[in-house]
Structure formats: C-alpha cells, structure tokens
Structure 1
Amino acid sequence: MTPPVPDRVPAPGDPVPVPSVHIRPMRPQDAAQVGALTLAAYDRYGTIEGDYRDFLADPLRRVEGCTAVLVAELDRPDDPAAARSAGPGTAGGGPIVGTVSYVEPGDAQWEDRPEPAGDAGFRVLAVDPAYEGRGIGSALVDACIARARNAGAHRLLIISMEWMHRAHALYVSRYGFERRPDLDVRFPSGVGVILSLDLTPEAPRRFPPPGPVPDEPPWYEDVLEPS
C-alpha cells in the first residue's frame, strides 16, 4: 500500500492537523488495504515473522476470531466522489488509516487464561505510519472502550509487544491502563506486555488481584489456552 501523500511537507513548528475519522467495521473489500497497513505499522517499530506475520497480513482471518475488526476511515465531506462511494448518509469515504480487533471472552483471539483478568479487550491496533500522532490510535481505543461499556464489561485487558513503547505511552498516560507484569507472556517475537483498564468501580472485586511476578515471563503456549 502506498501511504497517502500530504499536499505539502510540513515545516518544523507547523501544527499537526488532526483529521476527522469515522470508525466502522471492516468490509471484505478493505482486507488488502488493512493487511498492508497493519504490517507497515508493526514493521516501523519491531520485527514480526513467521505465522503471526501471515495472520497480521490477512484481516479476514482475524474477523473469524473476534467480535469485530474495526477500521478508521478519514472523513472527506468535500469530496463528492468519495461521498457517493461511501453511500447516502454515511460518514467516511476517505482512505483507511488505522485498524483494531475488538474481542470479548469466547472469541478465539481472547486467548483465554485459567483466571481471566478482564472481560473485553482489543488486539492488533495499527495506524498508518503516515498518520501517526494525529489521534487515529486514540479514536480506535475510544471505540473499543465504548463497545466494552455498551456490552457491560467491567475491565479491558490488552496484550502489546514490549517494543511498542509509543502505544504503551498512549494507553497509560491518556487512558490510565495499568501494567500487569504478573500476566506477561513470551512470544517468538518478544515479550507480550499485559495492561488492564478498570471500566467500573466493581472491577477490582470481580477479578483476581495481581499475583507474583515471575523471574521470566512464561511462554504463551504454557499460559494461553485455545478456545
């Protein structure tokens, strides 16, 4: 996928424009663009190889294992052709610039644990590198939190690779996610960092408290049970 090219290269000190985005479920015809975007986002900061890379590249596989694969689509209200392709009364119409998989217990991508520490979550959050720092990731997280609350969830639990420092900063500083090193797991591409966010005051009473932190995170095969 060729990233969108801005009209002009921003000069130092220029304000970063925040685009208006529409969050919607992914459509089958979006799959190639969403897969390429996801790989571009992951490759910018780390290395994903093997079967999981193939999984990231094929969002139609993710659709089968989660409640919803969402995309962030730029709004283009001044583009008549985009408005016609989006359909009457439909926001969006611009390029897809981000994606995320929203999951709930029972989904294959929920990655059940013997003692679940949450009842909603999200996976594979990716933003087109050309649009980083413009609120796209926040819009996707907001959409997942809204879905979780509408579903009556009390806690969000997410897994993020240890080298995704930019994402961790967003989750912790903006949303108040807390690190759960007692739940970390090791994947072939590195350690999966676990973070949680309480959505209701009842959450601490509904889930097990943090346990001891192991000297080394266990391998995912020894922790995560397939659905």
Structure 2
Amino acid sequence: MSTQSSTPPLSLTERRKLATQLEIAHAAAELFTAHGTEGTTAEAIAGRAGVALRTFYRYFRTKQDAVGPLLAVGGERWRALLAGSEPGAALPEALAGAVAEALAAPDEAAAAGLRQVRGLLRAAAGDPALRAVWYRVNQESEDRLRPVVAELAGEGAQPLEVRLAAAAATDAIRIALETWAETDADVTAPGSPAELAVRCLRELTGGMGLLTRARG
C-alpha cells in the first residue's frame, strides 16, 4: 500500500492564489539572479510578474520572501516521490531513490529550475534575509517530511529516529544544492545536485539505526 496520503483537491480560488504566488516567485528569482537583491525592488518584481504592488504585499512581506514558493517546490516534489515509494521498500533505498529523482534534470525545464535555484543561492550568499528564507523553507520541508518517514519506517520506529532521518535527508539536499551552487558543474555532470545529495545522504545516515535495520 502506498504511503501517499489523500488530500482534498484545491479550490479554484486556492489554485489561482498559488499560481499567482509562483509567478511572483519566478519573477523575483529572475531579478535576483540578474541584479542581486540590493538591485531589485518589490516594485520591479511586481512589474515583472504583471501584478499590482498591493497584490505583491498581499502575499509577501518582503522581496526576499517572494522566492519562498519557488524554493519550496523541490521539497514538495521530493516528499511526494518518497510517499509514493513501492510497498515494502527499505527506507534507505527509498530515501536515496527519491532524492536522486527529485534532483534529476530529465528535461530542459527541470534543468532550468535547478539553475534558477543556483542563482538564488549565490544571491543569498550576500543577503542574510534571503538566506533566512532558504533555511526557513528547509525547516518547513523537514517538518512535513517526518510523517512520511514515519509511515515508511513502520510501527517500530521511535520519534527520535524519525526526526533524525528527516533532518538528515533534508540537510543532504540542502548541503548538496549549496555545494553545487558554489561550482560551475552542470545539472547532470559529475558533481551534479543529484550525485552530491545521494553522497551526502549516505554520509549523514550511515550510522542511523532506523536506516540500518530491517523494517519491523
């Protein structure tokens, strides 16, 4: 039985809201990558996204906050992949497989998305507010990952073990992306995000009991 939980479909209003937020996020990412955060204003982001400034501030408090939805997309995809793991899959293999697939670049759209994240992480190096958004997104992703890990791990898993596994998996992706962003490696070349993340995951989880014993 798949671990993917059923959720009620979003209403039309909710879908439109999310679409608008993502449009603003893409606009902010493009401008931050091109001009840095200091050279970008909320007005410029709103203009690029084709929305009124009041609409921008309806959704985001600051210009840095605007990229949060874009940075969260990868975590949502990775959790969905993990939740959809094959029944009976061992947790280490499920984690590694989901990480590798989430950070793969099978087409140009996926590659462009990773490069956009690279641009944001480079911009964040000189902007504490943008770094704070990145860390917040990662913390929220870790929190949402815990129930997925718990269900995959089975009834014998202890809360501490689940929390450690979720933290390690989240940090593996974060560290991989940050490390990759400091280089010029391509999205599928040696040193790619997927390759680095799987390596980080193995290093971080190597001694965890939850990931080295059979599922109970």
TM range (shorter): 0.3 to 0.5
TM-score (norm 2): 0.36
User: Which of the two has greater strand per residue?
Assistant: 1
Query: Larger relative CO (CA 8 A, sep 6+): 1 or 2?
Result: 2
User: Which of the two has greater helix per residue?
Assistant: 2
TM-score (norm 1): 0.35
